[in-house]
Structures are given as C-alpha cells and as structure tokens.
Chain A
C-alpha cells in the first residue's frame, strides 16, 4: 500500500502545524468562530450535539496494522476508548477536546493518515471496493488510481471552494461493492478491445434528491483520468448552483442541464485540459503502482480449514457468511463483523482495533480494509489460518456470523451524536438486530440489507437498502419512514416509500411484519427479499405493514 514520501510527510506536517496555530488563535480570541469554522472543517473537525467530532479519512478504505494501531491509540488516549467506522470509509471520534485535536492529527501524521478534506465543499475521501486487490472478480486493483486522485485533489487550488461537497467512488470489479452509482462521480473499471479503462458515471447521490448516476463516458483511457476528472469538476464548479444549498450537488446540475449538455461541456473542457497535463501525473502513477504490488501469497494445502469446516458448526456458520472468494484459491477474504447483535453498527473499541491489527500483521499480509458497510476486512488470508483467526475474533467479540444478513445493518450516528439528525438511528439498528437474534431467524431469512438514516441527508444509505429506514421529526416526535426495493450494487435502484411512517416504538414491529410477509411469499429459500419484492411489487408488503388500512378497505 501507499507509503508517504518526504514530500507527503513535509506537506502533512506543515498542514498540521498550520491547524495547530489556527486552534490556538481561536482559543486566544484572534479568530472568531465564523472565521475558524471553515478552517476546522477543512481538517475534519465538526461540532456535534455533545462534543467535537474528528473525522479521519481512511483513503480508499485501506489500512496497515500500524495505522490501525494509531486509530486505537487515538480512541484510547483522546477519546472514550472507541471509534466509529462510517459509510464513507472514514473513522469518527465522538468526544475529542479542541485542544487535543492538533496532537491527534500529529499522531495520525506519523502513520500517514490525515483528516484533510473529510468535510467542507471539497473533493472528499475517494472510496473504493473494500475487496480491491483481492477479489476473484476484479479486472484490476483500482487503488493506485484512488491514491492518484487523493494526491491530485488534496489542496487542489481550483476545487477548495466548490458549490458543495464532491464524492468519488471507484471499483475495479463488474460486481459493484462500492456503490459507485450513488457518487458525484463513479468510476468503474472496464475492458474494451483488451485495454482497461474507466466507465465514468456522474450525478449519482442520495440525500434529499436521491439519484442513480448516469454514464457520461463509457470508456475513458487510463491516462486521461485526471484531465477528465478536472474537466467534470471544472464544468460543475462553473455551472453548479450556489443559490440553494439543496440544489448545489452535481446531481442537480446534471438533472437541470441534461446529461447530453454536461457531456458536451465536459468534452470541450477536456480538449483544453488534456494538453495542460505533461505526463507528470503518469510518472506519479507509475510510482504509486509500485506501492500496490500484490503480496507474495503463500502456497500450501488448505486441509486445516476443511477439517475445521467439517468439525465446528460455529466456524462453519461464520465461514459461510463472512468469507468471500479470493482471486487465489488457497486464500479467502475475511469480513470481520463490527455489528455484534445489540452493539452500535461500526463501533470498534481500541482493544478490538489492536486485535484486528495483530491479526493483519501476523496472518493477513499486514492489510486491513474498512467497508462502506461499516465492517473491517482482512483481504488476504490463507485458508489454513482461518480457524486461528476465527478463534481470536471470538475471544474479542468480533466473530459475529452475520455479513449480508438482517443484523448487518448500516446506521448513521443519528440524533445520538449528529447535529443535523432529526431522529435516532443507532437504537433502531440495535433493536432490530437483537429482535431477530432472539427469533433465531436471521440465517433462514438470508441476504437482506437494512440501512438506517437519521435524517434526509441519507448518510445511512437508506435509499439503496432492501429495507430502508429514514428517521424524521414529525411535530416534535421521532417518526420512521420505510422504503423498499433499493439496491446498492451494479443494478442500483432507489427504494420506494411504503406510505406513512411509524413511531419509534412501532418501527421494529413494522420491520418484523415485512420480514414475516417475505418469508410467507418467497418462492423458495433461495429467493432473497429483494427478488421477492421485485417479483411481487409493493402491494403484499404494504398490506403487511398497514393491516389497519386493509381492514378499512374491507
């Protein structure tokens, strides 16, 4: 993975020193809050409901063990002993003190991590497929391009004051695990005539006006990536609305102007821009690629794995849900669930972070990933090491076998932490997980994605959930709307609202009625919730959700 060079280190150290001085000037009164706020946001510092929050970028979701240990150190030394992994492959600390944040940033800098552009109207952390470099279905590892984008976009003078934030997602696989169609720009690596390039998707996004992105260029040669991205950003920067915050994202620019016009403008700008690139970016890319040389995977038999799989039903259940196919047959991709039943989705303690770091270091080629689904991944594990890994995870409350199941819920921090939230998300997720664990139905139900957002901004991706839950404030009371049929993959779709919302104490029973209905309606055990919904549509689920309305009609 990418290792900072002397330039990167000096840049980050200088930036952190600048921020330390800005904090000092705010505290001594030289800066007002109005002056300080944009500066702190540029460095990932929010002021939330109960405290400051520091959002640290985990570039394209990739970490090594030293970096994971640094995250643990921050949690323990300057926070309350835990961190919260987010849907944008970041980690958030919920309780830092303003005075401590410069020290936290310095500690991050020592392991090549930062919080730059994790907020503000800038290009944010580029997210990537969390199985990148390991997945069996991958064309090529997208992370060198994500790192190139990180370096290009960090402090890019033209894009520090965009109309609104700008998010880029990238995948190297035809199976989209990075929700690229819900990004301002989505990049999907594709092959054409033996050459690998990008399909460029623009104008996707969730939030108030959810949209599936549209293809603006079906094949972009690799060397054109940065000039083309600059052209998209440049057109958006000029054309994007600044009169209304809620209409400022590029999805609205695309909607209002039409994809054809945007494409025309981008292509014209691209003709100008590409000549300004003298090949330096390609030299840089060549260097970056050397950092992403695949690890020398160990060969050898996998009989210990097969024996454990036969003998231990708990291991087998975990292997069946939490392992994914690696490009090397003797290896597997391990997803560590940070969704123990009843726990806060995405929260890991400092101790758990250290355990995961140690496993990566000892048995996982020193690599970890954070997924947008708020779990942690060991991307390369020899199958014979899986029983030992499972045992260590079990000892530390990390062996929950629920990946892709009903309790593998995405939940934003909601009104328990977030200043923007209109309702709580976390307790709803906790109760759904606890309820279905008590029913012992989760494995029988099969693949089902529930995603919960505590406000219309949709950090919890509820629009692309099979069952989406949106928490709102209705006349001073928490109220939860349900959407069905959303899809976060390459067949991306926005879920449809079922009807009136549910009170806080009604939402979990409502989800249970939906799931009961599905169990009765599915053609057989292999038909997933989403497939049943697509086959039958909204009607049978609606009658399960609103039995009272049915009675009135009858």
Chain B
C-alpha cells in the first residue's frame, strides 16, 4: 500500500544569494518557512512544484519538503529542514543571524 501523503512545502535556494527560500501561495518566495504555503494534497503538490519551477531563472533546485502545521505557520518535520530554516550550529550565521538583527 502506498504511504499516505504528508503535508509539504516547496523550498529551493535563491540563485544570487544561494540562501534558502520557500514558495508562497501567491507564487512569490519568502525567506521564512512560517510564511510558506502548506500543501496538503498530493496532486496539488505536483502542480505547485511545476508552478514554482517556472521561476527556475532565479531559483535553484526546488523540491517538496515534509512540513507540518504549527501555530505560526508551517514547521519542519525533519532535522535537515530545521537546519535549513535556522543556519549552522557552530556560528550564529544564516537565517538565525538575520533574525537576530530584526
């Protein structure tokens, strides 16, 4: 039996900056996972990924990543996506650095 579909977000890296970006419901990109579109339907996920890939001129390597609904929006399921959301653990660089400057 096929595994049940789990919710997803679409994520990629920005072409120029190289940093992690997430696809929003309005077809734009955000740097914050919480603002990403959480996709709960499998067929819809494939269509949204095709939509995101239309912007391949300015993004790199879009893919569907497991996510779950949280209080403030989507949250990561796997620790890899958690690191992508925050940055490395040895320095306060990456997204956690930007967040600290707000």
The answer to whether A and B interact is yes
Interface residues of A (CB under 8 A from B): 26-27, 29, 32-33, 47-52, 80, 94-99, 344, 347, 415-417, 424, 426-427, 430, 473, 476-478
Contacts A29-B57, A47-B60, A416-B83 hold; do A344 and B90 have CB atoms under 8 A apart? yes
Determine the distance from Cα of A477 to Cα of B82 in the docked complex, in whole angstroms.
12
Contacts A49-B83, A50-B88, A417-B88 hold; do A97 and B17 have CB atoms under 8 A apart? yes
Determine the distance from Cα of A320 to Cα of B27 in the docked complex, in whole angstroms.
62
Q: Is the CB of B79 within 8 A of A50?
A: no
Question: In the complex, how many angstroms separate the beta carbon of B51 from the nearest chain A beta carbon?
Answer: 17
List residues of B (67-84) whose CB comes within 8 Å of A's CBs: 77-80, 83-84
Q: Is the CB of A50 within 8 A of B84?
A: yes
- Which listed residue, A33, A49, A50, A344, touches B60 by the CB 8 Å rule? A33
A416: B residues at CB distance < 8 A: 83, 88-90
Determine the distance from Cα of A149 to Cα of B95 in the docked complex, in whole angstroms.
42
A50: B residues at CB distance < 8 A: 18-20, 84, 87-88, 93-95
Closest to A32 in B: B56
Question: In the complex, how many angstroms separate the beta carbon of B6 from the nearest chain A beta carbon?
Answer: 12
- B25 CB-CB contact with A under 8 Å: no
Q: Is the CB of A427 within 8 A of B90?
A: yes
Instruction: Give the most central of B87, B88, B95: most A CB within 10 Å.
Output: B88
Determine the distance from Cα of A251 to Cα of B19 in the docked complex, in whole angstroms.
36
Closest to A96 in B: B18
Interface residues of B (CB under 8 A from A): 13, 15-20, 56-57, 60-61, 77-80, 83-84, 87-91, 93-95
Q: Is the CB of B87 within 8 A of A415?
A: no
- Which listed residue, B18, B56, B87, B90, touches A52 by the CB 8 Å rule? B18
- Which listed residue, A32, A97, A347, touches B18 by the CB 8 Å rule? A97
Contacts A33-B61, A427-B89 hold; do A51 and B17 have CB atoms under 8 A apart? yes
Determine the distance from Cα of A413 to Cα of B75 in the docked complex, in whole angstroms.
25
Instruction: Give the most central of B16, B90, B93, B94: most A CB within 10 Å.
Output: B90
Q: Is the CB of A47 within 8 A of B61?
A: yes
- Which listed residue, A94, A426, A476, touches B78 by the CB 8 Å rule? A476
Can you list 11 residue pairs at the A/B interface with Cβ under 8 Å? A33-B60, A47-B13, A47-B60, A50-B19, A51-B19, A94-B88, A98-B16, A99-B16, A415-B79, A416-B88, A476-B79
Determine the distance from Cα of A424 to Cα of B78 in the docked complex, in whole angstroms.
13
B56: A residues at CB distance < 8 A: 32-33
A94: B residues at CB distance < 8 A: 88, 93
Besides A27-B16, A98-B16, 13 more A-B contacts (Cβ < 8 Å) are: A48-B18, A50-B93, A50-B95, A52-B18, A80-B91, A98-B18, A344-B91, A416-B83, A416-B88, A416-B90, A417-B88, A473-B79, A476-B78
Question: In the complex, how many angstroms separate the beta carbon of B83 from the nearest chain A beta carbon?
Answer: 6
Closest to B97 in A: A80
